[in-house]
Amino acid sequence: MGRMRTPVALLLPFLLLAGCASSSTWGWYVVNPMTPAGWTNLKFLMNGMGATILISLIAAAISIGLGLVVALPGLSHRRWLRILNRIYVEFVRSIPLLPMLFWVFYGLPLVFRAMGLNIPIDPFWGAIITLAISDSAFTAEIYRAGIQSIAKGQTEAAQTIGLNYVQTMRHVILPQAIRRILPPLANQFIYIVKMSAFASVIGMQELTRRANELVVTEYRPLEIYSFLILEYLVLVLVISAGVRWLERRMGADERG
């Protein structure tokens, strides 16, 4: 019961708003599933869910791989590798998402063309590349902290039984680090889901873009944007629940 309290509390404002459906200042009819027009609008809005989820998932997957590649030099005993890691992390972290999105979508194809490559970048991949790179700086820091928190003794024990660097990471350090890394990594995934809304400005048909388009035709910004926020809220709550489930399973694994 206790675990249900938070989501219910969070949904409460929306239930209250929905209760005002009959009042004249509210125009909930735009998304009323009981009417054919409302149902059509609702489907139009929710059809952006697939794109939002897909962009976020692919971007997160790339970021999780890229973050590890960026983090490992930061843990090296070689100074120049650590410097390389710092430069990447500080540089990427300091670029706001929207300018980076514009640069990738409008600028990067020109860079490719100058290099004699013809690689078009559509809104879908433009959004994914931007989100993945932007997020990778944070993921890299999460990995670094997680790996550093595993005792030095674990690495030494792995070395004394003859494991090389890759084997030590793969079989000893990462399986332990992942338990500490997972919660902050999940927060990053939530961050990606929210930031994917920026993809709307380069024409990606995701949740926010569709809400914008419907507002233009229906003139009901309050109801439509409220519904939009509700959509993100549900998405994030589902992700949080999934992460908690995963954590519990891994915790059980550890104790076994």
For another protein, the binding residues (CB under 8 A) are: 151, 153-154, 156-164, 167, 171-172, 175-176, 253-256
Cα–Cα distance, 39 to 60 (Å, whole number): 32
Q: How far is the CB of 243 from another protein (least distance, A)?
A: 19
Contact 185, 24 (CB under 8 A): no
Question: For residues 110 and 161, which CB has a smaller minimum distance to another protein in the complex?
Answer: 161
Question: For residues 5 and 255, which CB has a smaller minimum distance to another protein in the complex?
Answer: 255
CA dihedral sign, ordered 82, 83, 84, 87: positive
Q: How far is the CB of 145 from another protein (least distance, A)?
A: 18
Q: How far is the CB of 75 from another protein (least distance, A)?
A: 17
- Taking 3-state DSSP, the helix, strand and coil percentages for the chain, each rounded to the nearest 5, stand at 85, 0, 15
Cα–Cα distance, 117 to 23 (Å, whole number): 58
Question: For residues 155 and 240, which CB has a smaller minimum distance to another protein in the complex?
Answer: 155
Question: For residues 75 and 97, which CB has a smaller minimum distance to another protein in the complex?
Answer: 75
Q: How far is the CB of 254 from another protein (least distance, A)?
A: 7
Question: For residues 53 and 182, which CB has a smaller minimum distance to another protein in the complex?
Answer: 182
| Amino acid identity for residue 49 in this structure | M
Contact 227, 45 (CB under 8 A): yes
Q: What is the largest distance, in Å, between two alpha-carbon atoms of the chain?
A: 75
Cα–Cα distance, 78 to 205 (Å, whole number): 45
Q: How far is the CB of 28 from another protein (least distance, A)?
A: 51
Cα–Cα distance, 122 to 107 (Å, whole number): 12
Question: For residues 34 and 161, which CB has a smaller minimum distance to another protein in the complex?
Answer: 161
